[in-house]
Amino acid sequence: MPTCSRNERSAPAVVDTGVRRARGAVARLGLALVFLPLGSGCGDGRVGQPAVDADAAERVRTALVTSTGGVAETGTDAAATGTGWGTLKGRFVFAGTPADAKTLAVDKDTEVCSKDGVKLLDRSLLVDPSSKGLANVVVFVRKSSRVKEAEPPATPVVFDQKQCEFITPVFAARVGQSIDVHNSDPVGHNTNIAGTSFNQLIPAGDGTLFKPEAETGMPTMVTCNIHPWMKAYVVFRKDGYVGVSATDGSFTIPDLPAGEMLEFQVWHERSTGPNGALGLAKPDLKWTPKGRFQVKIEADEVKDIGTLEVPASALGG
């Protein structure tokens, strides 16, 4: 056989695609067999997962274990830089024509929820036809150095539901402030606030009080599991510096600490930005894609940042 083999090899190659193909296939197979174990089997199997920097991990751990002294209390920053108070106002308008709101699929308790043939509409994009005002944009201060009203108001925020709809689609409350979760319907609801573990039965015509214990960060979703189309959003902040734009798109946040740079976060349910952050092209306010802008307000000043145009593309068309 070796002789034969040598003879064949020494003979001038006849163009023969069959042979080439066969040779190529065998060679590829051999190579694959050789590299297969090297390529996959001998790693640690972390496909699509980041590698750990072991040295850095060791360094951080040593620092965490050996650093002396307790962890500093993270409370209100003591660095108050001014004394007065000011107000921020502005107005959001929708630059475009909103599509007709979708009708929600109401298939439970229709004798109440679809009473008199009422159709419930999707309220994620509410634009006032005459003023083009964009409702339910949330604006809040990211970090405040001082707060005018240290204690949350004693009067509870009323959060009601009627005809299988939350009356306020977007609302705010202060941490520690009572929320009167009410049900004005003749059918039972449950109110489930994501991220808080609050999920309670709200019997017909009844209500219960809920006191948020922590901030939400960005607004969090409120739902009713019995009527899954029901949806609202709520934001809890310690300082209460939150504005939710009204039907005409306007918002006002009073009693802000004056004389210092304040950073605001802006959110809208339909925003395509990260976590619902609303990014606008407003370089004068240093508006970022993370939906943050900066403003300094003087004491007793009512700072109007004017009309803020929200392009349709920022809200997913």
Question: Which of 101, 226, 285, 305 touches other proteins (CB under 8 A)?
Answer: 226
Per CB under 8 A, 5 contacts other proteins: yes
- Residue 72 CB, nearest distance to other proteins (Å)? 6
Provide φ and ψ at 120, rounded to 5°.
Answer: -85, 135
Dihedrals phi, psi of 48, to nearest 5 degrees: 70, 20
**Least distance (Å) between residue 107 CB and other proteins:** 9
Provide the CB-side half-sphere exposure for 129 (13 A, CA): 3
From residue 192, give the alpha-carbon distance in Å to each of 181, 195, 199, 233, 277.
Answer: 11, 9, 4, 11, 23
Both tokens of 169, joined, read 């689609």
Residue 281 as a binder of other proteins (CB under 8 A): the answer is: no
Q: Rule CB under 8 A: is residue 48 a binding residue for other proteins?
A: yes
Please identify which residue in 88, 126, 187, 308 interacts with other proteins, judged by CB under 8 A. 187
Residue 154 CB, nearest approach to other proteins (Å): 20
Among 134, 202, 235, 258, binds other proteins (CB under 8 A): 202
Asked if 120 and 165 count as a contact pair (C-beta separation under 8 A), the reply is yes
Of 235-264, binders to other proteins (CB under 8 A) are 263
C-alpha to C-alpha distance for 164 and 39, rounded to whole angstroms? 58
Please name the residue that has the structure tokens 């979760």.
181
Q: Let me know if 15 is exposed, middle or buried by CB neighbors in 10 A (0-12, 13-18, 19+).
A: exposed
Applying CB under 8 A, does 63 fall inside the site for other proteins?
yes
Closest distance to other proteins from the beta carbon of 192 (Å):
7
- Interface mask toward other proteins for 137-176; x: CB under 8 A: ----------------------------------------
188 binds other proteins (CB under 8 A): yes
